[in-house]
Amino acid sequence: DTEVTQTPKHLVMGMTNKKSLKCEQHMGHRAMYWYKQKAKKPPELMFVYSYEKLSINESVPSRFSPECPNSSLLNLHLHALQPEDSALYLCASSPISGQGRNTEAFFGQGTRLTVV
């Protein structure tokens, strides 16, 4: 099973709402990622979790709050977003890099977020 599952597929939220995006994988991967993708642009890295600990935060505004409750789950909590935060949010997972380890990354289908 090489599937990364993201829910919901679509989300419309107001600027005062609080919502969460969820991501799940059962491949035993210990690195999980959140990316943001605007239309006609490549994905941009937001956060990386390694062994359930936040290892990279690409200077993302605090209105985005990641959480990794266990090795299979990754959440992105959203609060007080702006219309410019509307984008496709992609979750990915991969084995932890290391000598001789395959680090192929697998992506979910994304959550299309619209902030109104």
* 105 scored as a contact of other proteins (CB under 8 A): yes
How does DSSP classify residue 73? E
The answer to whether 66 touches 75, Cβ cutoff 8 Å, is yes
Residue 15: C-alpha distances to residues 31, 80, 94 (Å): 31, 5, 33
Which residues have a Cβ under 8 Å from the Cβ of 40 and sit 6 or more positions away? Answer: none
What is the smallest separation between the CB atom of 16 and other proteins, expressed in angstroms? 27
User: Which tokens belong to 40?
Assistant: 């006609």
Among 11, 21, 23, 33, the residue binding other proteins under the rule CB under 8 A is 33
Report CA torsion sign: 93, 98, 101, 103: positive
CB of 99 to other proteins, least distance (A): 10
Asked if residue 66 binds other proteins (CB under 8 A), the reply is no
Residues 36 and 110: beta-carbon distance below 8 Å? no
Q: Is 54 in the site for other proteins (CB under 8 A)?
A: no
Query: Minimum Å distance from CB 55 to other proteins?
Result: 6
Find the part of the chain contacting other proteins (CB under 8 A) among 20-28, 44-52, 66-74, 79-87.
44-52
- Residues found near other proteins in the complex (CB under 8 A): 4, 6, 31, 33, 42-45, 48, 50, 55-56, 88, 90, 92, 94, 96-97, 102-110, 112
